[in-house]
C-alpha cells in the first residue's frame, strides 16, 4: 500500500510538472516580464499541489557552511524577488532557493521594457533595477511559509540583499536588511555586483568592500548566526580579483557566488543584443566559469564557492563544480526549458560523476583546476 501511494504521488508530480512545462511554453509567447510575473502566479497555484520531491540520490548531497544541501543545484536570485514562492520552487527539485534581491524600501526599478529574451542566443538581458516590495514584504512572505509557521522550515532558502538606488548610505541599507531578514533565512547573500543600480559595483572596491563585510560580520554577532555570502561580477580584472580574494579571506564570511550578469557583449544573434543591462544565459557560461576557477585558485578551501552563469545542462553544472564550485545556481535556462530542467541536470550530473569514477559531488570540486 505505501508503495502504491508513492507511485500515485510520483505520477501526480510528473503530471503537475508536465502541466507547468506546457504552461511555461505558452507563457513564452508573452513579453518577457509579463511571462515572468505569470510564471510566479502559476508556481504559487501549482506548487502547493505538488507532493514533496522524492529524496535525492545521496551522491548529489553537499555539506556547505554548516548546511546539508540535498543536492547541489539551486535557483539563483532574481526569479523570486519577494520570496513569494520558495517552497513551490523547491518542489521542482532544487536543492536550495535564493530569493531577492531585496532592498530596505520598496522600489519600482527601471522603466519598462527592461527584460529581454535573446532566444537565438539562449540568453537574457535585464536592467530590472532591484524592483521589489522591500524588506518588510519579504519578511512577511518568509514568515508565512507553512513550514516556517509549523516551527521547522523545510528546504534551504537564502535571501539576497541590496541597497536602494537613492540611498544615502548603502552600507547601512545592507545592515538593516540583514537585521530584518537574516533570522528568516538559512543564509544571506550580499549583492554588490548588479550592473543596474548606478555605482553599486563600486562596493567591490577593496576599502568599501572591507567596510561593508566588517559591518555585516559585526551585525550578526547581535543576531542568530547566519552564513554570509558575497556575489561578485564577472567583469573584473586580475587585480580586482586579487583584492576581493584578500578581503573575503580576511573578513570571515562563508561563501562567494561567482557570478552576476555581465555588461560585456560577445557576438550575439538576437535583435535585442544591443539592449543595455546585464547579460545572462549561455554566453555567460565560459567567462563566469573562468572567473570561478580564478577565484578558486586564489581562495582554495577558505570559503565555499557557488557557481552561477549559463548553466543549462548537467555538463554545465559539472564544469562549474570542476572549476571549484561546491554548489551551482541557475535561472535563465528555466525561461527556455521549464522546470523539468532541474531533474535532467541532476540525472546528467550523476552520469558525469559515474563517468569519472567519483562517488559524490564534493570529490569533483576543483578537479579541473
Long-range contacts of 19-28 (CB under 8 A, 24+ apart): 19/46, 20/46, 20/92, 20/338, 20/339, 21/338, 21/339, 21/340, 24/334, 24/338, 24/339, 25/338, 28/117, 28/335, 28/336
Q: At residue 305, does pLDDT exceed 60?
A: yes
User: Lowest mean pLDDT: which of 95-104, 191-200, 221-230, 299-308?
Assistant: 221-230
Who contacts 352 (Cβ-Cβ below 8 Å, separation ≥6)? 314, 315, 318, 364
pLDDT at 315: 98
Q: What percent of the chain has pLDDT over 90?
A: 84
**Upstream peptide bond of 113 is cis (omega within 30 degrees of 0):** yes
pLDDT at 48: 86
In a domain, 7, yes or no: no
pLDDT at 9: 46
Q: At residue 292, does pLDDT exceed 70?
A: yes
Q: Give CA–CA dist 196/205, Å, rounded.
A: 17
CB 125 within 8 A of CB 66: no
CB 308 within 8 A of CB 259: yes
Domain count, the chain: 1
- Provide the whole-model pTM: 0.93
Q: How confident is residue 49, by pLDDT bands cut at 50, 70 and 90?
A: confident
In a domain, 320, yes or no: yes
pLDDT at 51: 87
Residue 118 DSSP one-character state:
E
Q: At residue 5, does pLDDT exceed 50?
A: no
Kindly report, residue by residue over 85-140, the tens digit of the pLDDT.
Answer: 999 999 999 999 999 999 999 999 999 999 999 999 999 999 999 999 999 999 99
In a domain, 18, yes or no: no
Residues forming the active site:
194
Q: How confident is residue 18, by pLDDT bands cut at 50, 70 and 90?
A: low
In a domain, 13, yes or no: no
pLDDT at 27: 75
Q: At residue 26, does pLDDT exceed 80?
A: no
pLDDT at 3: 42
> What count of residues does the chain have?
369
Kindly report, residue by residue over 141-186, the tens digit of the pLDDT.
Answer: 999 997 655 555 579 999 999 999 999 999 999 999 999 999 999 9
pLDDT at 21: 62
In a domain, 1, yes or no: no
CATH of the domain at 198: 3.20.20.70
Q: How confident is residue 2, by pLDDT bands cut at 50, 70 and 90?
A: very low
- CA distances, 229 to each of 55, 88, 255, 303 (Å): 27, 24, 4, 9
User: 314 or 23: which carries more pLDDT confidence?
Assistant: 314
In a domain, 23, yes or no: no
Residue-range definition of the domain harbouring residue 152: 55-364
Which residue is it, cell 549583492? 191
User: 47 or 344: which carries more pLDDT confidence?
Assistant: 344
In a domain, 290, yes or no: yes
Mean pLDDT of the chain: 92
CB 339 within 8 A of CB 263: no
Query: Beta strand 278-281 with 123-126: parallel, antiparallel or unpaired?
Result: antiparallel
Kindly report, residue by residue over 236-274, the tens digit of the pLDDT.
Answer: 999 999 999 999 999 999 999 999 999 999 999 999 999
In a domain, 4, yes or no: no
Q: How confident is residue 4, by pLDDT bands cut at 50, 70 and 90?
A: very low
Amino acid at each position: 500500500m505505501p508503495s502504491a501511494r508513492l507511485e500515485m504521488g510520483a505520477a501526480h508530480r510528473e503530471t503537475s510538472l508536465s502541466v507547468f512545462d506546457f504552461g511555461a511554453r505558452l507563457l513564452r509567447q508573452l513579453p518577457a516580464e509579463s511571462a515572468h510575473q505569470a510564471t510566479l502566479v502559476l508556481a504559487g497555484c501549482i506548487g502547493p499541489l505538488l507532493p514533496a520531491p522524492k529524496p535525492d540520490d545521496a551522491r548529489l548531497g553537499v555539506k556547505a557552511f554548516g548546511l546539508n544541501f540535498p543536492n547541489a543545484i539551486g535557483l539563483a536570485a532574481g526569479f523570486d524577488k519577494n520570496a513569494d514562492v520558495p517552497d513551490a520552487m523547491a518542489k521542482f527539485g532544487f536543492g536550495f532557493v535564493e530569493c531577492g534581491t531585496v532592498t530596505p524600501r520598496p522600489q519600482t526599478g527601471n522603466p519598462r521594457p527592461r527584460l529581454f529574451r535573446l532566444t537565438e542566443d539562449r540568453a537574457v538581458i535585464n536592467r530590472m533595477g532591484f524592483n521589489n516590495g522591500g524588506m518588510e514584504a519579504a519578511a512577511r512572505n518568509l514568515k508565512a511559509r507553512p513550514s516556517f509557521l509549523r516551527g521547522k522550515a523545510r528546504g534551504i532558502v537564502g535571501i539576497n540583499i541590496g541597497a536602494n538606488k537613492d540611498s544615502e548610505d548603502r552600507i547601512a541599507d545592507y545592515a538593516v536588511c540583514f537585521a530584518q531578514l537574516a533570522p528568516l533565512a538559512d543564509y544571506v547573500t550580499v549583492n554588490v555586483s548588479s550592473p543596474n543600480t548606478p555605482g553599486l559595483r563600486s562596493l567591490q572596491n577593496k576599502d568599501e568592500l572591507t567596510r561593508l563585510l566588517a559591518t555585516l560580520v559585526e551585525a550578526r554577532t547581535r543576531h542568530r548566526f547566519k552564513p554570509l555570502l558575497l556575489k561578485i561580477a564577472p567583469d573584473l580584472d586580475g587585480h580586482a580579483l586579487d583584492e576581493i580574494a584578500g578581503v573575503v579571506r580576511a573578513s570571515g564570511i562563508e561563501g562567494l557566488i561567482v557570478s552576476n550578469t555581465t555588461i560585456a557583449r560577445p557576438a550575439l544573434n538576437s535583435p535585442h543584443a544591443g539592449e543595455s543591462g546585464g547579460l545572462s544565459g549561455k554566453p555567460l557560461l565560459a567567462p563566469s566559469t573562468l572567473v570561478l576557477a580564478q577565484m578558486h585558485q586564489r581562495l582554495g578551501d577558505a570559503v565555499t564557492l557557488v557557481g552561477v552563469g549559463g548553466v543549462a545542462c548537467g555538463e554545465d553544472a559539472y564544469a562549474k563544480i570542476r572549476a571549484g564550485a561546491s554548489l551551482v545556481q541557475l535561472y535563465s535556462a528555466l525561461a527556455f526549458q521549464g522546470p523539468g530542467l532541474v531533474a535532467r541536470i541532476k540525472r546528467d550530473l550523476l552520469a558525469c560523476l559515474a563517468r569519472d569514477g567519483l562517488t559524490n559531488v564534493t570529490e569533483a570540486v576543483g578537479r579541473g583546476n
